[in-house]
Structure 1
Amino acid sequence: MKAFTLPDLGEGLAESEIITWHVDIGDVVTLDQVILTVETAKATVDVPAPYSGTITSRHGNEGDIINIGSLLVEIDEHANVTTTHAVTNTASSETAQSPTSSRSQASSKNDKPNSPAVTKDAATVVGNVSQASHNINIDEYWVGSEKSHDEKVVITALPSARVLAQKLGIDLHHIQGSGPDGVILDCDIHQASDQQRPGTEMLRGARRSMAASMAKAHQQIAAVTITEEAILSTWATNEDITTRLVQAIVVACKKEPALNAWFDPDTMTRCVHSMVNIGVAVDSQYGLYVPVIRHADEFHAEDIREWINDTVAGIKARKIGREQLQHGTITLTNFGAIAGIYATPVVSPPQVAIVGAGRIIKKLIMDNGKPKEVNALPLSMTFDHRACTGGEAARFMKALVSALES
């Protein structure tokens, strides 16, 4: 019997949300077969089986938030297709009598969490988890049992879960841990909190990531917002607004590259990019996603529209990879497609600028001494004043408006 825990899926992210289970208890899986899909940092990741065998246990439900090292499944490598059903039927009565019998038997052979057998069985998507991932610092303490003063009940919980339970007012006595040997994890506390307070929800997936990144931006960035308007008198009636904005940002980045950059406050260094990778903010029912159109300066108008359509479809289906959300050098948010004229968009570090487009409005201008009604596109750009001067931001905005008005 081998235990498979949630591996580190990259970028040092500590938690993931279970989106879909592709296997159930009793299913026979093969090496590298996808067993579940999780979401982390706004990206969905398919997790493959580390070895072949029969699924004997499955831990966590769809929608649960789980931490790295949490037990996902246990796989019996010795079971096969012809014996799976027989084993399941004969074991059902035993399971009813003792739900943790198989786990207890396994633990009796390896009482020490650092034993070689445990280390060998701890596999991840890319190999074996380090021994440290199973050396979990579990907080154990005894409480009196309601049945008898002579009996004691042991509660095992991660220290972080105990602290979280205290903050949320959750009684650990009523929590069934989902970790190895019933260890109470942070996700168990979150789930109990959701059930305890109707009408509230725990932020998950893209919304949870957005909350963390916005807090980081608020703490770190010296944000300044500059606004302007582009007069669209030369536009055709069927202009693709987002495509034109992407093209105009490319032009502005070429003329004033200081806004197409990354800034590292720890080393006080700025990296000005030659390529233009534009993150395009996309609103969805699952939260805010910012996929990146890489080398946007090499795209034609029809290519940009095709990329937008394909990407939005992928987000709606929750099929967007982590690599599609990386390496942006500047961001566009077209909030005016919904509502709003001006805004103060939030820069996402290490980027130094974000361009926002508001709702197109009607304006009266003087044309050869006569009033004329025109369409105007409100523009708002927030920039990190640590990395960019006001003059650089103003020149960028001027180039952006000029490209839109041409």
Structure 2
Amino acid sequence: MKFFKLPDLGEGLAEAEIVEWKVKAGAQVEVDQVLLSVETAKALVDVPSPVAGVIARLCAAEGDILHIGAPLVEFEGGEDDGTVVGKVLGSSQVFEDHFVAGAVAAGSGLTQAMPAVRRLALQLGVDMNGLKGSGDGGLVTEMDVLQAFEAQGGSHNEVLKGARRAMAKAMTLSHQSVVPVSITDEVDLRAWRADEDVTVRLIQAIGVACRGEPSMNAWFDGDTLTRRLFDEVNVAIAVDSKHGLYVPVMENVAQRTAADLRAGLDRMIADVKARAVPREMLQGATITLTNFGAIAGRYASPIVSPPQVTIVGAGKLFEKVVFVHGEARPVRALPLSVTFDHRACTGGEAARFLRLLVDALEAPEK
């Protein structure tokens, strides 16, 4: 039998969730025919077959979370213990089976599981004894433990998957590695039209502010204590959907027109709703924008997503009274919150960036 294993999906991704199988056991498939769709921390990815043949068995079910190198499909025929080379989006890797210390030999009467799986079971309070493994030779997998964890807690336990799982991991990484500091200000919107496109104006202003204070448009490597400044401003837009939080990227925003930005936003939102965001739209961000005020809230402490060093948060528009030549006048205001990684940016750099951001937003549209 030949096994096709989950190939390397690139971008340092270690796992993927099976969203939908496109084939069934017994099916005849051709080279490059799509076998299944998986969701990673970056996007939905179609996985094609690297060979032509008959599928003997699907090695995982929809909803399972698999690590790179885990068996996906068993093909009929071929040599025993063979491994089929997987290829996705030009990235390929051959996975070979090796003996791993800690695995229990089949027929020993003991529950077979790798040390990492046993550690997970211990952390979740799952009793390994009696668990039926779904892996090769009855090996208990991480998914077997997670399913047992859900079953023993009823509706109180939920294993995070998809975008929500990716968000949880990203927030853990940020908490462990970023030194966050937040500063706030308000934008006087007297120069704005009543029908002003808030999100487009925010994106344009971020482009202006980053060009004037390039240190806020950077990636920071905490291990080597190096900072890389970027010429282009690529803004990740936080989009909250029923499937979780997605952050598609708009590239080179400082060089794009308002109409082009709006068209890009419309396409982005449509892709998020359809869960069809291309992988290339989830890569290469240098700064993030979260327009949480579209839902509620004036100020926040947005979370920096490393290796980026800055995130801009826009709150809910509100009215306030200002004095002009001693006369009280009502004006609309836009609250802004900027969080920056203090390991990479000084307080002065962040304050200058915020000042440029406010100035760009208060200026009449060109």
| TM-score, normalised with respect to structure 1 | 0.84
Q: Trace 1:195-344 onto structure 2 (pairs within 5 A).
A: 195-199=151-155, 200-344=157-301
Q: What amino acid maps onto 1:38 in structure 2?
A: V
What SS does structure 2 have at the residue aligned with 1:153? Answer: coil
| Post-superposition offset of 1:345 | 0.6
Whether the 8 Å CA contact 2:69–2:95 is kept in 1: the answer is: no
| TM-score, normalised with respect to structure 2 | 0.92
2:352 aligned partner: 395
Aligned pair 1:156/2:156, yes or no? no
> Which stretch shifts more, 243-252 or 307-316?
307-316
What SS does structure 1 have at the residue aligned with 2:183? Answer: strand
Report % sequence identity: 50
| Post-superposition offset of 1:77 | 5.6
Whether the 8 Å CA contact 1:206–1:288 is kept in 2: the answer is: yes
Among 86, 96, 101, which residue is 1:124 paired with? 86
The 3 A distance-change label for structure 1 pair 137 and 19 is farther
**How far apart, CA to CA, are the structure 2 residues paired with 1:356 and 1:370?**
31
2:141 aligned partner: 185
The 3 A distance-change label for structure 1 pair 395 and 317 is same
* C-alpha distance after superposition, 1:223-257 (max 9, x if no partner): 11110000111111111111010001001111111
**How far apart, CA to CA, are the structure 1 residues paired with 2:229 and 2:92?**
37
Whether the 8 Å CA contact 1:142–1:155 is kept in 2: the answer is: no
**How far apart, CA to CA, are the structure 2 residues paired with 1:142 and 1:255?**
64
1:359 aligned partner: 316
* C-alpha distance after superposition, 1:193-229 (max 9, x if no partner): 1222122211112111211211211121221111000
Q: Who wins on radius of gyration, i.e. which is larger?
A: 1
Q: How many residues end up aligned between the 2 structures?
A: 359
**How far apart, CA to CA, are the structure 1 residues paired with 2:131 and 2:177?**
38
| Post-superposition offset of 1:314 | 1.3
| Post-superposition offset of 1:141 | 6.8
| Post-superposition offset of 1:368 | 2.5
Q: Aligned-residue CA RMSD in angstroms?
A: 2.0
Q: What amino acid maps onto 1:129 in structure 2?
A: V
**How far apart, CA to CA, are the structure 2 residues paired with 1:166 and 1:350?**
32
What SS does structure 2 have at the residue aligned with 1:195? Answer: helix
Q: Which runs of 5+ in 2 are unaligned?
A: none
What SS does structure 2 have at the residue aligned with 1:371? Answer: strand
**How far apart, CA to CA, are the structure 2 residues paired with 1:52 and 1:342?**
56
> Which stretch shifts more, 293-302 or 340-349?
293-302
* C-alpha distance after superposition, 1:99-135 (max 9, x if no partner): xxxxxxx8xxxxxxxxxx53x434222555232x554
Q: Trace 1:84-103 onto structure 2 (pairs within 5 A).
A: none
| Post-superposition offset of 1:175 | 2.5
1:140 aligned partner: 104
Q: Which runs of 5+ in 1 are unaligned?
A: 79-105, 107-116, 144-151
What SS does structure 2 have at the residue aligned with 1:157? Answer: coil
Structure 1 segments of 4+ aligned residues over 6 angstroms from their partners: none
> Which stretch shifts more, 284-293 or 356-365?
284-293
| Post-superposition offset of 1:176 | 2.6
The 3 A distance-change label for structure 1 pair 323 and 70 is same
| Post-superposition offset of 1:154 | 4.3
What SS does structure 2 have at the residue aligned with 1:198? Answer: helix
**How far apart, CA to CA, are the structure 2 residues paired with 1:231 and 1:304?**
23
The 3 A distance-change label for structure 1 pair 32 and 137 is farther
Aligned pair 1:170/2:122, yes or no? no
The 3 A distance-change label for structure 1 pair 227 and 398 is same
**How far apart, CA to CA, are the structure 2 residues paired with 1:130 and 1:194?**
31
